[in-house]
Structure 1
C-alpha cells in the first residue's frame, strides 16, 4: 500500500511506500563492505577559458517573458538528451546559479526555461558535463538523462570530489572520491515496470525521514524522475527518484522499490556525512570491463 505524505520545501521522493518533504541536512558514520574497481578521475575543475580572438561564440538569444522556472515538478520539454548517459568518468565540477539564468537547448539555441539559485529554498548545484566555446552544459534537475546549455555569466563553479555509481545487475552502490573507491554496499532497486532509471543524475538535496520505516535516517532526493510516469502509483505522481535506507535490510539485492535506491542505514549515514548536493550519481547495468 502507498501511504501519502504532505508536500514541503522541495516535494516528493519516489520510494516504497512514501511521498516525502525536502530540506537540507546531514548525518554521520560507517563501515567498509567490499572492494570496487579503481577508475581514472577526470581532470580537476578549471575556470571557463576566454575564447580566442578567432573563435566565434554562438550568441545567447534573450529569454522571452513568461519562460517557466525549473522547480521540483518535471522539467519542461525540449531539452537535449545526455549524449553519454552511461559514461562513468567522474564529473568533477558543478555550478550554482547566482541569479535566474536562461537554460538553452543548444549553444546559441532556443531558451527553454529558467534556472534559479534555489529550488524551493534548497541551493541548486548541477554537474558540468561538457563545454563548448562560451557555453557550458549541465545535467538538468527534475529530468532524467537531459542536459541544458548555459552561456557565460550568472553562475559560479563548484568543485565536486565524489561520485556514486549504482550497478543494477549486481545490486551494488559504490562511493568514489577523486576516482578512487571508498566503500561499496548492496542495494535494492526498482521493481519490474518501475526500474531504477539508467544514466547520470545528481543529488538534489536531502529530507528528514517522516516515518520509522526509513530507519530514522535522512533521505537523498535525486535530480532524476521515473522513466514511466504513468506506472507510478497515484500518491507518488510528480515524485523524484530517491536514495534512502529502510527499517530492515531484508530486501537488499532485490527489485522491490518504486524506482528508489535503498541501502543500509550505516551506508546512508556515511553518504549524508560525506557527499554534498550536486554530487553525480550514475546508474548502469554493469561497469565496463577494465
Structure 2
C-alpha cells in the first residue's frame, strides 16, 4: 500500500546499454515483425488543437464526479505502469468503441498515482518519462477532480486472464493537459485506415496486413504510445514503427520476451491476415501515422 508523503516521486534509474538492449528486444512480436523501441529516437511532438466536448459523467455520480483526493503518495512505493506492467488491479476498457474527449494528459511531476477506483488507494504510478513511451495518454472521461485514461500494460496475460486495453483514473492536480484532434480509425473487414480530423476523413490505406486467426489484431480503442525508427530491422526499410498501447489477445509474449505489443509498421508483405497481430502498411501510410502526436486515439474494428 502507498504511504502518504509530499509530492509524487518515482526514482528513475538510467539503464546501461546492456539493459536497454534487453528491454528493446522485449518489444518484438516476432523478429521480422515487432522490433524494439530505440531509446535514442525522437518522440513525436504533442499536438495542441481545439478540444472536443468532454464526456458527460455517469448519472450515478454527482455532476462534478468523484470527490477530490488530496492525499500525498510516495511514487517509489507504487508499481510503475509501463508497457511491461501486468497489474491485476487495473480494469480493462468496458466501452472499447466509446468516444474520446479530445484531451491527453502527461504526469506533471516524475510520476502520477494511478487509481483503479477514485474512492480507493492508488494501484500504480504513471511515469512522466520512460524509454518505451506510454507517458502521454488519452482521456476517455473528464470530471472536476479526476480523469479516466487509457494506459499501457495489461491486467493479465492471455493465458491467465483478459489482456485487453487497460484503463485507470488520474487526479487532475497530478497531470498536465493537452488537446488533440486526430483519431485513427482502422476497419479490418473493409481493409481501410483513416485519419479523422474535425470530421474530415483522410484515407491513408485501402489495404494492409493484419493478424492471423491464431494471433489476431486486437480490436477496440487504444492509442499511439511511441514512434521510432529501428534501422537494425531491415524489413521496415528504414521507416518508423508506430507502437500502440494494446497488446496481443493470444500471446503472453514472444521469442522469450514478456510483451506482445501491437504496432503499425512497413512491410513488403502487407495484404491479408498474415501477421502476429501488427498492422502492416505501405510507405505513405506509415509516414502519415508517424507524424501524429503521442497519445493519439486509435480505434480498430473487425
TM-score by length of 2: 0.75
Shift of 1:200: 1.0
Q: Provide the C-alpha distance between the structure 1 equivalents of 2:241 and 2:66, rounded to a whole number of angstroms.
A: 45
Q: Which residue of 2 is the match for residue 205 of structure 1?
A: 226
Q: Provide the C-alpha distance between the structure 1 equivalents of 2:203 and 2:120, rounded to a whole number of angstroms.
A: 41
Q: 4+ residue stretches of structure 1 with deviation over 6 A?
A: 52-56
Q: Provide the C-alpha distance between the structure 2 equivalents of 1:81 and 1:123, rounded to a whole number of angstroms.
A: 16
Q: Provide the C-alpha distance between the structure 1 equivalents of 2:192 and 2:64, rounded to a whole number of angstroms.
A: 48
Matched, 1:277 2:294: yes
Q: How many residues align?
A: 259
Gapped runs of 5+ residues in structure 1?
A: 28-40, 47-51, 286-290
Shift of 1:216: 1.5
Q: Provide the C-alpha distance between the structure 2 equivalents of 1:251 and 1:54, rounded to a whole number of angstroms.
A: 47
Q: Provide the C-alpha distance between the structure 2 equivalents of 1:21 and 1:54, rounded to a whole number of angstroms.
A: 39
User: Structure 2 vs 1, CA of residues 81 and 42 (structure 1 numbering), >3 Å: closer, same or farther?
Assistant: farther
Q: Which residue of 1 is the match for residue 11 of structure 2?
A: none
Alpha-carbon deviations, 1:209-261, whole Å to 9, x = none?
3222112201011111111234x532453231111111x2x432x11111111
Q: Give SS of 2:77's match.
A: coil
User: Structure 2 vs 1, CA of residues 205 and 25 (structure 1 numbering), >3 Å: closer, same or farther?
Assistant: same
Alpha-carbon deviations, 1:66-122, whole Å to 9, x = none?
2211123034121122221122x3541100112211100122223110111122274
From 253, 259, 262, the counterpart of 1:241: 262
Q: Provide the C-alpha distance between the structure 2 equivalents of 1:81 and 1:130, rounded to a whole number of angstroms.
A: 15
From 222, 237, 245, the counterpart of 1:223: 245
Q: Which residue of 2 is the match for residue 30 of structure 1?
A: none
User: Structure 2 vs 1, CA of residues 95 and 204 (structure 1 numbering), >3 Å: closer, same or farther?
Assistant: same
Q: Verify the 8 A CA contact 1:243 1:261 in the aligned structure 2.
A: yes
From 60, 65, 77, the counterpart of 2:88: 77
Q: Give SS of 1:153's match.
A: helix
Q: Which residue of 1 is the match for residue 277 of structure 2?
A: 259
Q: Which residue of 1 is the match for residue 141 of structure 2?
A: 130
Q: Which residue of 2 is the match for residue 86 of structure 1?
A: 97
Gapped runs of 5+ residues in structure 2?
A: 1-19, 45-49, 56-61, 155-163
Q: Which residue of 2 is the match for residue 36 of structure 1?
A: none
From 214, 219, 223, the counterpart of 2:236: 214
Alpha-carbon deviations, 1:130-176, whole Å to 9, x = none?
12342110001123321101122121101111111111212221111
Q: Provide the C-alpha distance between the structure 1 equivalents of 2:64 and 2:245, rounded to a whole number of angstroms.
A: 38
Matched, 1:191 2:200: no
User: Structure 2 vs 1, CA of residues 14 and 266 (structure 1 numbering), >3 Å: closer, same or farther?
Assistant: same
